[in-house]
Structure 1
């Protein structure tokens, strides 16, 4: 199994660990310390060695920060984790606050006394974050202290070693472009930014630029390391060479000069002494890098990671790979949904559902000779009230039966070498209530609204986020997460910078893949989320129009549950889209499934008015 069902860190351990951290801070003249859920690369997934926030507090979410002071401690989380954090941590030790509405910088300005000394690890905070923290600290009379030693590491006696998994080459048939050609493009972009060098700290950018993959973090095929790219083409890659086979070393040596990771910081300092102009991405680059450049006489050029946009705008091969991955994944999902429909209430549970889905994906990969490499994130398998926890992670301690009259929310994804998938479907177990069906249909209307949208070229994600919420807003409802995140090509399932959210400021470009996932969550009762992946494409010229337009291609291939749809709430346009989508699903997936699954799929994909759904 790719997914573990062990519980997160025992909350009862937090008391001793927080006490040890406070003792270290007191001994070193500090009043507090920030513990972000981050490593030196600012990725969503971190290796076990860097899971400091989870080790200290018990919180296992993918975003959060703890602030530990002598007399209190606070964990900052966003709307996805408001329920989860309370289940995983001890409220006698930690208070809770919003990472969005009252982030650490704002909290510090309101709560710390003038003269307080607040420590932070400059490898774990970006330059942009530190600028915000510095401004708040200065205003409050607080001293922000960068530390050479991370105090959590100092008290973590059995901290795991850094990962050393093998690096593999991503074939050009899937990558769509040779790495040497990508690097030429990146060198030109660096020069255009007025820099002599650019630092790649994001392993996804390194993976894309060099056409390599790895297995250093869970569920995302990354090899951890750094790269210094030069405008003159003299690139350097800092990655443990124990990860390289002879073939990989020979390949990478043609593209860049390989170096061990412990030489990375000295290399930055050395370039700075030579007067280099080094581009650092304020959203991704560690504050420590800026400190090294400035302390050694170099110049920091604040510029976006040059690989970010090229990586996000998928080429023809990457889009074809994604379509193939979704056909394969669609067959697995059809098998899973057919299996679920045959389960009697109380017959199965959340963990068994995860195991069954993984088996369907393995089988689909074997049949197409494109093996399942991993799940793309830990499957969210939430029945009843667990479905209302937006990023719920099932464990043996929380596992529930799929009970009669409940909804079951299944959010999952797969990593195949030709593409990354992410899909959510919500299904009824037994008879759903009228309210459940209404809320499901409102969420479906939001998904269809984005699916059918045409928008001017250059539109940002923030400009269209409301489209997916309109039906819910009309009933006084909403959801506390963004509507869509970017998705990589056999890379991170949550890829930036593209996103559909109130904070989505990046322009949506042709070839970008995003999720389309509105939802509704009734705390303590049930959750509804529906998710397809979509790709930005040019739209046909609108008659009488005079500007270039874009639209979305839906990549995901899986039916929506007929018994949950209140047909009367759908407009003719929405019904037509749904019928056309289901016909497309049947045409694409039908030839790849057989027997009972095919019979189930044919019924699930029939036109909405073909026969009444029995509720």
Structure 2
């Protein structure tokens, strides 16, 4: 299996490691050290070699950081992980609700003037350090670059990944690497920039039409790249990863050892573009005044999927939808109390594996029943595995990495007979999902402008959820892809071709969780009879097809338009997914998609 159920971290591992780290602090003359969940490439997901935060604290979430001082160690986590962190860290660690509490404010409260806080300059983006230094100005607290102190005490730290890289076929990519490089190089010339430094693995994969496996669930390889204004590319990647790529790169791509990357950046002439949100501080230091803070030049072109990428994603979703429906039909046939969360994960993965285009799951499957469903990024282990009992809700959030596309879908399923509180909350979540799916909006708006629409039914009931409404999704790349998001902090305007998730939820701690998620692609909205002639509008097209659980829908709470949307969606599910199913699953789907 791709997914395992081992316990990868325990609360009791943290205290002795924390004590050892504090000895290193004292030896270095430091009062603190910052431990992010990050690697030198600043992607969201990291290889085992870079799981320093989990190794030190026991916290396994995909985002967060720890500020270790001599008397206190704060684990900073956002709203997604405030339940999870309580389960995973020892009392020696103090959970800190971020961004409600900012790191600079916390440091000023905990440290006296003259305090020195160390950080590894490879693991912190230049923009982060610049902002933190500005916020600490006048406090007397200084940031000090140093070696990674966690690596010093991590005796059995895994080796860096060295997995092979494969070519990504043009039929799926839709544009050659040479054309991408030429297009982006033209943008550099127009901006008066001689080169761009690219550190994000998924950007390099997209630019050069390659895929890797250095990070589990993400088809990326670690490396760095410099794109020049004449479309030449210097790729800094271990040669052994590239053994199978003979003939893929043309003469414009030169491969170098990763150890030469800093020297190459120091030797660049002219203005050099780099994303201050991802370029490591040590690289920014090498560039000095030549650095032009700019977005990753690949980010927006990568986000705007071309016709081949959209077609591939749509095809992958149809096959993935068949696996989901087979899973739901199987699940419905199991009596409450007879199967566990691990059984669910294993069954779903086995169904996805029947597709020869599957290369991995796109993240660790979340299958949380009962109170585990309230842990937004719950990962089941042999120790936490729970039976699906009558009255439980099961949150099943999963996805696949297929050669032609990346999927991400969440369904919440009633086990036995659901309670009325759960049905009411589920219906509000469904109303939010429907409202966003139906939306048309003026071109130029961003996530911060429209995200509230997916929350409105919950807000009217005095409820909400502590995660964004949606994230960007790659084309056989990262399941979380920027720069666009459906979030109140996102200012990137939506453009045709962008793929995002639509996933409102509701979580009652120690009781139940609810989430419904489809992927959507942005399109130009067709004109209506009432449309303003001069106003360009955008809309969504749904990519995900699987039924929502009608047993959890309180139809009396829905408007006529909402009922019509759901019935129409279910008829699409039946038409698109039904022909792929086994007879038993097809019969189940007929009933599951019946009109309300």
The TM-score, its normalising length taken from structure 1, stands at: 0.95
Shift of 1:233: 2.2
Match of 1:403 among 363, 385, 389: 389
Q: Can you list the C-alpha shifts for 1:93-142, whole angstroms capped at 9, x where unaligned?
A: 10011221113123223332100011011111111111111012223110
* Residue 333 (structure 1) aligned with residue 324 (structure 2): yes
| Structure 2 equivalent of residue 121 of structure 1 | 120
Shift of 1:191: 2.1
* Residue 461 (structure 1) aligned with residue 447 (structure 2): yes
SS in 2 for 1:514: strand
* Cα RMSD for the two superposed structures: 1.0
**CA contact 1:226–1:264 (8 Å) conserved in 2:** yes
Name the CA distance, whole Å, in 1 between partners of 2:186 and 2:140: 43
| Structure 1 equivalent of residue 562 of structure 2 | 574
| Structure 2 equivalent of residue 230 of structure 1 | 228
* Residue 513 (structure 1) aligned with residue 504 (structure 2): no
SS in 2 for 1:579: helix
Q: Which moved more, 1:150-159 or 1:188-197?
A: 188-197
| Structure 2 equivalent of residue 101 of structure 1 | 100
Name the CA distance, whole Å, in 2 between partners of 1:139 and 1:428: 55
SS in 2 for 1:563: helix
| Structure 2 equivalent of residue 418 of structure 1 | 404
* Residue 310 (structure 1) aligned with residue 312 (structure 2): no
**CA contact 1:109–1:139 (8 Å) conserved in 2:** no
Unaligned runs of 5+ in 1: 609-615
Q: How does 1:250-269 map to 2 (within 5 A)?
A: 250-269=247-266
Q: How does 1:426-575 map to 2 (within 5 A)?
A: 426-542=412-528, 543-545=530-532, 546-575=534-563
Unaligned runs of 5+ in 2: none
* Residue 371 (structure 1) aligned with residue 343 (structure 2): no
| Structure 2 equivalent of residue 140 of structure 1 | 139
Name the CA distance, whole Å, in 1 between partners of 2:70 and 2:482: 36
Q: Can you list the C-alpha shifts for 1:565-597, whole angstroms capped at 9, x where unaligned?
A: 111111111111111111111110111112110
Name the CA distance, whole Å, in 2 between partners of 1:358 and 1:204: 24
| Structure 2 equivalent of residue 611 of structure 1 | none
**CA contact 1:137–1:144 (8 Å) conserved in 2:** no
Name the CA distance, whole Å, in 2 between partners of 1:460 and 1:249: 42
SS in 2 for 1:276: coil
Name the CA distance, whole Å, in 2 between partners of 1:520 and 1:461: 20
| Structure 2 equivalent of residue 165 of structure 1 | 163
Question: How many pairs align?
Answer: 594
**CA contact 1:35–1:53 (8 Å) conserved in 2:** yes
SS in 1 for 2:587: helix
Shift of 1:253: 4.9
* Residue 598 (structure 1) aligned with residue 586 (structure 2): yes
SS in 2 for 1:558: coil
Name the CA distance, whole Å, in 2 between partners of 1:459 and 1:209: 27
**CA contact 1:112–1:140 (8 Å) conserved in 2:** no
| Structure 2 equivalent of residue 612 of structure 1 | none
Shift of 1:544: 4.0
Q: Can you list the C-alpha shifts for 1:295-333, whole angstroms capped at 9, x where unaligned?
A: xxx511011000000000100000000110000001000
**CA contact 2:231–2:252 (8 Å) conserved in 1:** no
SS in 2 for 1:140: coil
Name the CA distance, whole Å, in 2 between partners of 1:358 and 1:266: 44
Q: Can you list the C-alpha shifts for 1:77-97, whole angstroms capped at 9, x where unaligned?
A: 001100111111102x10011
SS in 2 for 1:251: coil
Q: Can you list the C-alpha shifts for 1:460-497, whole angstroms capped at 9, x where unaligned?
A: 01111110111111111100100000000000000011
